[in-house]
Amino acid sequence: MIAIPATVLLLLCPAAGQGGEGPGGRQAVIYDGGSVSWSDFYLELARRHRGKQLGKNALDHLVNKLIVELEAKKRELDVPGSEVDKRLALVEKQLKAQGKGSLAAFLAKRWMTIDEFREMSRLSLLNEKLTRKDLGLGPTDRITSSQYALWSKEMQGRYAVVTDANSLPADTAARLKDHTITLMELGGEMARNLNAKDRRSILQQMAAYRLLRREAKKLGVEVTAANIEAEVAKRRALFARDPKFKGVTLEDFLHLQGRTLSDFENGEAFRAQLYVSLIGEHKFSTAKLESEYTTNPSLWAGRVGVSRRVFRIVFRVTKDRNADQTRDLCNKIAAKIKDLKTFQLYAQRLSEDLVTAKRAGDIGDLHRNQPHYSEALLSAAFALPVGRVSQPIVEPDVVSLLFVTEVKPAPKGKELIAAMRRFSMATWLEELVRSNNVRFMTN
C-alpha cells in the first residue's frame, strides 16, 4: 500500500538506486578478476524469494505504486511541492522524537536519497487523494488501512493484475494490462527490506558461483543443458518416491513457493550445485578418495564418520553479563527443559544467535572433527546422551546448551566416498573464496 502513516512509509521504498546501482555503485561484491553487480543480485533475489513474504510485500507495493502513477496521470492529478515538504517535515520530526536521527541518515541506511523519498511521499499523497475521491471520503476523514486495501483491490481488478509466476514470462513479476513489472524491479524492491546477514549470505554464494564457473572453465568442466535436465529429473524422482511429499511434484512445490521451473533452473544456487558436483568428481576422483581413506582412516572417520544430530541454544557473554552470569542463566534454562520440543521453543525465543533462533536450535549433523566448531563444543556433543540437555558449554564470548536427538552411523561404500567428496569440496571452496579476496561493497 502506498498511502500509509509517514513513519511506516519508510519501510516501503522504491527500487534501490537507478540503473541497477546499490549503495556503493554498480558492484555489490568484487574479487580478484571479477565481480557481482547489484543487477545480478536483484535478479537472483527475485528468483529465489519472489513467493515468500518478502517478495509478496515488495510486489504488492510495486503494483500499487504503478497503479497510483497511472491513475494520477489519467486523471491529471498531482500534489504541490508544499504538501510534499510538509510530509517530509513530519517524518523528520517523528524520527527525531524517536531518537533515530535525521531523515537523510535514516534513508541512507535504506539505500534511498532525499529526492527518491520526496517522490515516494508525492505518490503517497496522490494515493490518499485517489482513495478519498473513489470512496467518497471528505478531506478531513481518516482513511483506514482496510479502506486503502479496498481501493487497491478494486483498482487491481480494473487493471487485470496478474502476479502468478506460471502465467507470466520468465523475466516478469507482474502484468497490469499493457504494463509490466520486471523481476529486476522486484529484486531491487526486495533488497530494501532484506536484513544485512541474509544479503551478505546470498552475495557470498553468488561470488562463489562465479569463482566455481571460472575454475570449471580452467578444468574443462562445463554445465550443459543435459546436466541441467538430468539434475531436474533427479529432483522430480525424489519428489515422486519420497512419501513426505504426498504426491506433490517438483513443479507443484515451486508453484507453492511462487516460483517457476525457469526460476529454479536459472537460479545461481542450483547451477552452483551442479558445478560443485562436476568439479568434485573431477578433482576428487573415487580412486583418489579411496586411497586417502586407506592411508588415514582415523582422520576421515572424524570428518565424515559417525555423526550426531545436534540442537543448540546460544547466550552471548557481554559487558553487562559476564561468563559466570551467562552460565547461571544457562543452568536456569536447562532446568526447565524436559524434551526436544521445549528445547526448540527456548531456542526460538531466547537464543542470541540468528541462525539457531531461526532454526529452533537445529545446527544439523556434527562429526567429531567438524570444521568451525570448538573442541569444547564437539567434545560435549559426543559425550552427551541422546535426549538430554548438556551442562553449559563455555567458549570465548558465548555459553551454549546442547541437545542431541540422534546418533547416525558412519557411511559405507559409495556413501562414504560421496561424504568425503562433499567435505573435500567444501574445504576447497572455502579456500577458493579466501584466496580470491572476496570483498563486499555493503554491510
The whole-number average pLDDT for the span 193-199 is 85
Q: What is the pLDDT of residue 108?
A: 80
Q: Could you tell me which residues come within 8 angstroms of residue 368 by beta carbon, excluding any fewer than 6 positions away?
A: 301, 302, 305, 306, 378, 382
196 or 230, greater pLDDT: 230
What is the CATH topology of the domain spanning 306-408?
Answer: Chitinase A; domain 3 (3.10.50)
The whole-number average pLDDT for the span 281-303 is 96
Q: What is the pLDDT of residues 111-142, one digit of tens each?
A: 778 888 899 899 999 999 999 999 999 988 99
Q: Which amino acid is at 59?
A: L
Q: What is the pLDDT of residue 25?
A: 56
Check whether 12 has a pLDDT greater than 50.
no
Q: What is the pLDDT of residue 441?
A: 81
Question: Rounded to the nearest 5 degrees, what angle is found at the Cα of 91, between the Cα atoms of 85 and 92?
Answer: 85
Q: What is the pLDDT of residue 443?
A: 55
- Pairwise CA distance, residues 384 & 322, whole Å: 25
Percent above pLDDT 70 for the chain: 94
Q: What is the pLDDT of residue 17?
A: 36
Distances, alpha carbon 174 to alpha carbons 160, 264, 293, in Å: 10, 18, 53
- Rounded to the nearest integer, the mean pLDDT of the chain is 90
Of residues 398, 21, 40, the one with CA closest to residue 209: 40
The whole-number average pLDDT for the span 10-25 is 40
Of residues 351, 357, 342, the one with CA closest to residue 314: 351
Q: What is the pLDDT of residues 319-329, one digit of tens each?
A: 999 999 999 99
18-27, 211-220, 412-421: the lowest-pLDDT one: 18-27
314 or 109, greater pLDDT: 314
Check whether 9 has a pLDDT greater than 50.
no
Of residues 113, 110, 108, 152, the one with CA closest to residue 134: 152
Query: Residue ranges of the alpha helices (H) in 172-223?
Result: 183-192, 196-219
Check whether 335 has a pLDDT greater than 70.
yes
Check whether 23 has a pLDDT greater than 70.
no
Q: What is the pLDDT of residue 3?
A: 37
In the chain, CATH 3.10.50.40 covers 306-408
Q: What is the pLDDT of residue 22?
A: 52
Check whether 194 has a pLDDT greater than 90.
no
Check whether 147 has a pLDDT greater than 90.
yes
**Bridge partner residues of 174 (DSSP):** 181
105-109, 305-309, 329-333, 422-426: the lowest-pLDDT one: 105-109
Phi–psi pair at 72, nearest 5 degrees = -65, -40
**Bridge partner residues of 316 (DSSP):** 398
**How many helices (H) and strands (E) would you count in the chain?**
20, 9
Of residues 165, 170, 136, the one with CA closest to residue 150: 136
Q: What is the pLDDT of residues 72-115, one digit of tens each?
A: 999 999 999 999 999 999 998 988 888 888 888 888 877 778 88
Q: What is the pLDDT of residues 350-373, one digit of tens each?
A: 999 988 999 999 999 999 999 999
Q: What is the pLDDT of residue 80?
A: 92
